[in-house]
Amino acid sequence: MWATLKMRARHRTFAEVLNLNPFSTVKPYLVDTWRWGTMPYRAWVHATAKKQGTMPVSILYYHRVADDDPNPWTISCNGFRKQVDWLVRNFDIVSLEEAQKRIRSGFNDRPTVSITFDDGYADNTVFALPLLMKRNIPVTYFVTTKHTTEGTPFTHDIDHGRPLYPNAGETLRAMAEAGVEIGGHTRNHPSLADIDDQQVLFDEMITATREMEQVVQQPIRYFAIPYGQVEDLSPAVFRMAKEHGFAGVCSAYGGWNEVGGDAFHLQRFHGDPRISYLKNWLTLDPRKRNLWQTPIVEKMMEESGRFPASPELAGLHASTSPNV
């Protein structure tokens, strides 16, 4: 089963990862039509969840906010501002730690969302991060070690014809000091499900994160799986993250986080540049409910917890904070 997923993962471009949902090719006005057409159902689900304290927790991930060099993983500054304005009006915007507390508690009666970024593009310090910090909005910022320390662009940007550069270590350290939660995102941004060698996986996940902790001079508590689709996940990834003290691991294939559900594996929605799609997903789209219980992911999580911690590896990442 895992081998089949690996073969699917090897033949995708980064742009395709952000468009795996077939509904993403539909024009925004059709998305709005779908959203408004299902609004009575959504309103009923919302009211019921609020009354019962079962309001799911949503987590968004963005990559790059800028007005130049548009691509499928970039949102314009004005587009991002509009999304943040809408989120502020309609949600509690919380840290990943608070999101986990609400999931784990089994009771949440308020619409809740967390904001995260993947990869660590330098452009984000021009508009996006100052906006969030000015408005006291918590954010978790996942970065890759190689690109940060070497200052090299990502392969997917080079393939797209425009190399875009990552944040420097000094910038990330300043961000951490200002309250931005820095997260781990591997060393080289591979699909982790393709890695069978446990030492290589350890280097990508654990050693690289320890090195990044030295760069930002802060503990790193959270880890985001590159690409983050189902075919990029594996039991070994979740098991290693648990063994070495990460507070949570983020995927990126969509789906809400149900209260009383898994607070370690955090599902995320893409912060799509088309606000129609964002509103559709976050207003309790009935197609997204209980995706964390997708059989293949449920099986993955079951297998990740089946094996005891490896004594020879225990303690190697002592600087990572324990689970919250």
> What are the domain boundaries of the chain?
2-255+265-280+294-304
Task: List C-alpha distances in Å: 27 to 23, 35, 37, 62, 91.
Answer: 9, 13, 16, 21, 26
Tell me which residue has tokens 């893409």. 270
pTM of the shown model: 0.86
Measured in whole angstroms, the distance separating CA 263 from the mean position of its chain's CA atoms is 14
CATH code for the domain defined by 2-255+265-280+294-304: 3.20.20.370
- Residue 51 has a pLDDT of 96
Is 21's pLDDT higher than 70? Answer: no
Q: Give mean pLDDT, residues 23-48.
A: 82
Of the candidates 314, 322, 306, 311, the one whose C-alpha atom is nearest the C-alpha of residue 239 is: 306
Of the candidates 250, 281, 55, the one whose C-alpha atom is nearest the C-alpha of residue 140 is: 250
Write the pLDDT tens digit of every residue in 112-162: 999 999 999 999 999 999 999 999 999 999 999 999 999 999 988 888 889
Q: Are the beta carbons of 106 and 259 closer than 8 angstroms?
A: yes
- Residue 294 has a pLDDT of 59
Q: Give mean pLDDT, residues 51-61.
A: 96
Q: In which band, very low, low, confident or very high, does the pLDDT at 296 lie, cut at 50, 70 and 90? A: low
Task: List C-alpha distances in Å: 143 to 117, 140, 196.
Answer: 8, 10, 23
Q: Are the beta carbons of 151 and 98 closer than 8 angstroms?
A: no
Is 91's pLDDT higher than 70? Answer: yes
Give Dmax (Cα) for the chain. 56
CA atoms within 13 A on the CB side of 102: 26
